[in-house]
Amino acid sequence: MKTTDSTERREKNGEESVHSVSNIVFRSTILGSVIQGAVALLIGLGMYTIALGNQYITLSYNLARSASVALTEYTDELQPIVETVVQRYHALPEEVREKTFTKEYRDNFLDIYADDDYYKVRQIMHRFLNNSDLFGVYIGYYDEKTKALVYIVDPDDNEDTTTFPGDWEPVKDNELSEFINWDYDSKTYSIDNTEKWGWICTSGYPIHNAHGKIIGFVLADVSLNELYSGIKSFVVQFSLAVLLIMVLQAVAVVYYFRWRIVNPINAIAGAASRYARDKREGNDVPDHFSHLNFKSGSELNHLCCVMSRMEKYISEYEKNLTDMTAEKERIETELSLATRIQADMLPSEYPAFPDRDDFDIYASMIPAKEVGGDFYDYFLLDSSHLVMMVADVSGKGVPAALFMMMSKLLLRNAAMEGMSPASALTEVNEIICRNNKEEMFVTVWLGILDLVTGVLTAANAGHEFPILRNSGGKYTAVKDKHDFVIGGMPGIKYRQYEIQLEPGSRIFLYTDGVAEATSTDFALFGIDEILEVLNADPDIAPKQVCEAVYAGVEKFVKGAPQFDDITMMSVHYIKRYELKEQDVPSRTINVRSTIDQIEPVTSMALDFLDAQECPKRIKHQICVVIDEVFSNIVNYAYGSGVGDVEVSIKASQNRSSIDLIFIDSGVKFNPLQSEDPDITAEAEEREAGGLGIMMVKKLMDGVSYEYRDSKNILTLRKFL
DSSP-derived secondary structure for 513-575:
HHHT-B-TT--B-HHHHHHHHHHHSTTS-HHHHHHHHHHHHHHHHTTPPP-S-EEEEEEEE-S
Over range 132-157, report the average pLDDT: 83
Domain map (residue ranges) of the chain: 49-229, 290-345, 353-573, 584-719
Q: Which of 92-106, 325-339, 481-495 has the highest mean pLDDT?
A: 481-495
Residue 695, beta-bridge partner list: none
Tell me phi and psi for residue 260, to 5 degrees: -95, -20
Percent of the chain scoring above 90 in pLDDT? 29
325 has pLDDT over 70: no
pLDDT value of residue 22: 59
* The Cα angle at residue 661 between residues 658 and 665, in degrees rounded to 5: 180
Per-residue pLDDT band for 1 (boundaries 50, 70, 90) equals: very low
457 has pLDDT over 90: yes
Residue, of 688 and 236, whose pLDDT is higher? 236
Q: Which of 24-28, 63-67, 340-344, 544-548 has the highest mean pLDDT?
A: 544-548
Residue 170: DSSP 8-state: E
pLDDT value of residue 239: 74
Task: Please state the pTM of the whole predicted model.
Answer: 0.45
Tell me phi and psi for residue 656, to 5 degrees: -95, -10
pLDDT value of residue 702: 84
pLDDT value of residue 630: 93
315 has pLDDT over 70: no
Over range 444-470, report the average pLDDT: 94
pLDDT value of residue 36: 72
Assign 400 to helix, strand or coil.
helix
218 has pLDDT over 50: yes
Domain 49-229 belongs in CATH node 3.30.450.20: yes
Q: What's the pLDDT tens digit per position in 639-679?
A: 889 999 999 998 876 566 788 999 999 999 888 887 766 55
The answer for residues whose C-beta is within 8 angstroms of residue 289's C-beta and 6 or more apart is 268, 271, 275, 304, 305, 307, 308, 311
Per-residue pLDDT band for 585 (boundaries 50, 70, 90) equals: confident
The answer for residues whose C-beta is within 8 angstroms of residue 629's C-beta and 6 or more apart is 662, 696, 714, 716
- Report domain 353-573's class: alpha beta
Nearest one of 381, 419, 348 to 410, comparing CA atoms: 419
pLDDT value of residue 290: 65
Print burial letters for 24-33: b (CB count within 10 Å at least 16), e (below 16): ebbeebbebb
Residue 394: DSSP 8-state: S
pLDDT value of residue 3: 47
Contacts 24+ apart (CB under 8 A), 290-295: 292/264, 292/267, 292/268, 294/264, 295/260
Q: What's the pLDDT tens digit per position in 603-640?
A: 999 988 888 778 888 899 999 999 999 999 999 999 88
17 has pLDDT over 50: no
* Distance from chain centroid for Cα 229: 49
> What is the rounded CA–CA span in Å between residue 39 and residue 45?
10
> What is the rounded CA–CA span in Å between residue 143 and residue 168?
10
- Report domain 584-719's class: alpha beta
